[in-house]
Structure 1
Amino acid sequence: MDFIGTTSKEILKYIPAKLYVEEHINYSYACKSCQPEEEKTNIITSKAPNTLLSKSMASNEILSHVISLKYLYALPLYRQENYFKMLGLSLSRQTLSNWIVRAANEFELVYKIMKKELLKRNYIQADETTLKVLEKNGDESRTKHYMWLYKSGTNINPIILYEYQRTRSGTNPKNFLEKFSGYLQTDGYAGYNRVKNVKQLYCLAHIL
């Protein structure tokens, strides 16, 4: 037989995720013949790589994965608990929740910087929606809670911020947009009328 050519076929493959432990060993050195300076030690210790959550086993990679699963892919923590168990790791939803809360605290400065930049824009879109909230005893709250959304009105360097509030009171957008002056586009909810120094715009989907 004589070779006359080839054909090809592409097959999509999948490599399952895996977890592993990365151990960091810190070495300490001391100069036994040196006299320590006043209020100083002559011991030098190497430093481990910095992570967002200090004194935690959570690496930056797994932390970003947990946050992405919850907020980008809407995977609740109790399902993530089962997901990690399938990968061979026992992680309680309480631990996962603590990671997210601590991460939120670490990112608070970033949030404030983004808000400061948002309020400099001349066009902001805002909306609010109900949110299911669990009480401390684990029961679902009987009262409505709200997540407020504030977004820059253009797609150039967009800024999108969320703010949780227990009520739908107009004082919430009033306080959040206190230093904003420009165009505010909403669905026409009367609560936004409490925002000062803005020109109200309404969404066409709610007008027509």
Structure 2
Amino acid sequence: MLLAEEEKQCACCGGQLHLMGEDRSEKLEFIPAQIKVLEHVRPKYACRTCEKSGIQTPIKQAPLPAMPIKKGMATSSLLSQLITRKYQYGLPQYRQESLFRQ
């Protein structure tokens, strides 16, 4: 937060003020938890030559990122949040579910 040029003049003599230091202040702001959907796009590749010749076309695709639960939607960060709330804070799962709906 800088002073405007007209404010950089001395109120006593009208001389130019110079920078002699700075004060810093920190504030804490709470940002509520957010759940985001992460979408992984994996293109599929096939051989046009094999398709034209009638051979069963091999399809290649990059593997999915490693997940803690196979074919599950929850990432490790969501699972750690659920487990922490359940066992450290004693928050039942039905109450966590209602919090997520909000």
Distance in 1 between residues matched to 2:101 and 2:29, nearest whole Å: 23
Distance in 1 between residues matched to 2:60 and 2:21, nearest whole Å: 66
SS of equivalent residue, structure 2 residue 71: coil
Give 4+ residue runs of structure 1 displaced > 4 Å after superposition: 2-8
Q: Aligned-pair distance for 1:34? A: 4.2
Distance in 1 between residues matched to 2:69 and 2:21, nearest whole Å: 57
Partner of 1:63: 79
- TM-score, normalised on structure 2? 0.63
Distance in 1 between residues matched to 2:21 and 2:47, nearest whole Å: 72
Instruction: List gaps (5 residues or longer) in structure 2.
Output: 1-10
Q: Aligned-pair distance for 1:28? A: 1.3
Q: Aligned-pair distance for 1:42? A: 2.0
**Percent of pairs with identical residues:** 39
CA contact (8 A) 2:46 2:59 kept: yes
Partner of 1:18: 34
Matched pairs, number: 82
Could you tell me which amino acid in structure 2 is paired with residue 71 of structure 1? Answer: Y
Could you tell me which amino acid in structure 2 is paired with residue 54 of structure 1? Answer: K
Query: What pairs up with 1:126-165 in 2 under 5 angstroms?
Result: none
Q: Aligned-pair distance for 1:84? A: 0.8
SS of equivalent residue, structure 2 residue 70: coil
SS of equivalent residue, structure 1 residue 33: helix
Could you tell me which amino acid in structure 2 is paired with residue 77 of structure 1? Answer: Q
CA contact (8 A) 1:25 1:48 kept: no
Distance in 1 between residues matched to 2:26 and 2:59, nearest whole Å: 59
Q: Which moved more, 1:23-32 or 1:3-12?
A: 3-12
Instruction: List gaps (5 residues or longer) in structure 1.
Output: 87-208
Distance in 1 between residues matched to 2:41 and 2:66, nearest whole Å: 13
CA contact (8 A) 1:28 1:43 kept: yes
More strand by share: 1
Query: What pairs up with 1:44-123 in 2 under 5 angstroms?
Result: 44-86=60-102
- TM-score, normalised on structure 1? 0.34
